[in-house]
Structure 1
Amino acid sequence: MHDNRLRTIIPDDLPAVITRYLAAHRVHDTATAVTTFTDDATVTDDGNTYQGGTAIERWLDRSATEFTYTVQLTNVHQTDTAHYIATHHLEGDFPGGTIDLHYRFTLRGDLIEHLAIEP
């Protein structure tokens, strides 16, 4: 049943691929993080879209070194079996110093097809 209603879930209920991506991203493990995406995946972050493994890998490398920050998972939602939102609270040396970001995942099979990161 796909009713497309946003449901709060616990982090343990996230699909393994999302958990693997979040863990790798948190410790700046680009090599592992990039393996969680489909070959034709897209990432939208900070008004830019990155498509394909090479572009996503460059984005991951840049985002891992651009600022120093802490990340705390504060909320997890599921719309259906392919759509999840993980909300993170970030604090660091970026402009503004704190922000809550919504990581909106779209899955295809066991991989991430699209990730949009937005306030």
Structure 2
Amino acid sequence: MSLTLPTPIAAYFVADKDDGEAVARCFTDRAVVKDEGHLHVGRAAIATWKTAASVKYNYTSEPAAMVFEGDQTIVTARLVGDFPGSPVDLRYFFVLDGDRIAALEIIP
């Protein structure tokens, strides 16, 4: 299935195949990411989070569905990789600020 994602979200999923710096550039300066119960605030922390995840696991993610709820865009993506429980569907709760991501929470 091919989705037409909002530009900042599409950029995030492209950058997710690259590195932490590429992912961090998708976010506002003071953006917040919540993943696995941890908060990562600001671009530097987001770059560190993504880099650590990439070192720990190899995976691919494929967006499969999208809905809008209030100010959130919720994308469900299938992750396949060398992590426990693979494959898994994760939900990405994005809040956008113009052409950047202001907040992201990732949950199963």
TM-score by length of 1: 0.81
**Structure 2: distance between partners of 1:92 and 1:60:** 15
Q: Which moved more, 1:106-115 or 1:40-49?
A: 106-115
**Structure 2: distance between partners of 1:107 and 1:86:** 13
- Does residue 110 (structure 1) correspond to residue 96 (structure 2)? The answer is no
Shift of 1:108: 1.5
Q: 2:82 aligns with which of 80, 87, 93?
A: 93
**Structure 2: distance between partners of 1:67 and 1:32:** 17
- Unmatched segments (≥5 aa) in structure 2: none
The residue that corresponds to 1:74 in the other structure is 64
- 4+ runs deviating over 6 angstroms: none
How many residues are matched? 107
**Structure 2: distance between partners of 1:36 and 1:97:** 26
Shift of 1:51: 0.3
Instruction: Report 1:1-119 matches (<5 A).
Output: 11-12=3-4, 14-25=5-16, 27-80=17-70, 82-119=71-108
Q: CA RMSD in A?
A: 1.5
Q: Indicate if the aligned counterparts of 1:28 and 1:64 stay in contact, CA closer than 8 A.
A: no
Q: Indicate if the aligned counterparts of 2:3 and 2:64 stay in contact, CA closer than 8 A.
A: no
- Give the number of the structure whose alpha-carbon radius of gyration is greater: 1
Identity, % of aligned positions: 36
Q: Indicate if the aligned counterparts of 2:20 and 2:49 stay in contact, CA closer than 8 A.
A: no
